[in-house]
Amino acid sequence: MRLSARLTTAALALAVAGSAAGCGAATPGIAYARGDAAQSSPTAVPTAVASAPPTAALKTAPARGDIVVAGAPRGVKAKAGVLADAATGQVLWDSGATKTRPIASLTKVMTALLVIRGGLNRKITIPKAVLGYVAKYHANSAGLVPGQQLSAGDLLHALLLASACDAAYVLATTYGPGMGAFIAKMNATAAKLGLTHTHFSSPDGLPYPSEFSTYSTPAELLKLSEVAMQSPVFRSIVDERFYSIPQGAGHGHYWWGNSNELIGSYPGAVGIKTGYTVAAGHCLLFEVIRGRRTLIGVVLGSPPTGPGAGAQDAAKILNWGFSLKKSG
């Protein structure tokens, strides 16, 4: 993680701590699926995406014992987002919560969920084709070496911590089996979860065939996050600051840092996942536990001011959320 971004996030967190007491693998801790002008599809795509009808998951009417919402978080630059009380489902703040937007590497939450459900007791040989995939899309890479063998659990760490597209490719082609079959499973699972305004065209959120081919809404991403965080395996991985594999039989040494800049800098942060492409902006799914309150949320489209832009927006929203009082 870059020190300046960590210090900014930490400073935002300290404001309430007392009272509420696509990139390369060579840059661990700041790993996102990359996107730039040269990668965009030449096909014309819409500059805005459609508004989805309100989802039943949003609960805005206060109930007895609920949090009293007063005002709104200030200085948030994200184009859309939502914050909720994880215990009750009460929505505390939202902006464009039902509008579809590209979601970049937040896509990998669904990929991880399917891999976990498929079982992690596999040893997987890294295929040579992964190098071409990473090169074609200038994708973020965990530096996986063809011919080496890693466990599915190891690759899941690369997927979720380093946001590695090579890990996404290997897992998708293994658990599909094949890319097409895996993407079909992603969309079928989304439908079963009632995510009617979510669509996947890749296992990693890379901008193909266009920047807008993989999309969702903040409200539906919140629901997907809640499902994923119910998995002890998923929950334990996204809370880790880094993951290291010593050199061993069949593989070399690997080290991957967590791209989520809230982890280790914002008190109580336990996940969840980062994302970035040019069209999506900086995106972050997050969950924080402080005292008896657990807040879960998402920001989409934070500006490209630095790799910590999503975390900085999330910190502002969380500071406000933890400052709210309960009714009664």
**Which of the residues are catalytic?**
105, 108, 163
- The answer to whether 307 touches 282, Cβ cutoff 8 Å, is yes
Dist. CA 203–CA 37, nearest whole Å: 21
- The answer to whether 33 touches 139, Cβ cutoff 8 Å, is yes
In 17-160, DSSP assigns E strands to 67-68, 80-85, 91-95, 101-102, 123-125, 149-151
Which residues is 82 bridged to in the sheet? 94, 298
Q: Which of helix, strand or coil describes residue 176?
A: coil
Instruction: For strands 123-125 and 149-151, give the pairing.
Output: antiparallel
> Which residues have C-beta within 8 Å of that of residue 213, sequence separation ≥ 6?
199, 201, 202, 207
Decide: residue 125, CB within 10 A, 0-12 exposed, 13-18 middle, 19+ buried.
middle
- The answer to whether 155 touches 124, Cβ cutoff 8 Å, is yes
Decide: residue 63, CB within 10 A, 0-12 exposed, 13-18 middle, 19+ buried.
exposed
- Determine how many CB atoms are found less than 10 A away from the CB of residue 192: 8
Pure H helices in 176-295:
179-192, 218-228, 232-238
For residue 70, what are the CA distances in angstroms to 202, 293, 319? Answer: 40, 17, 13
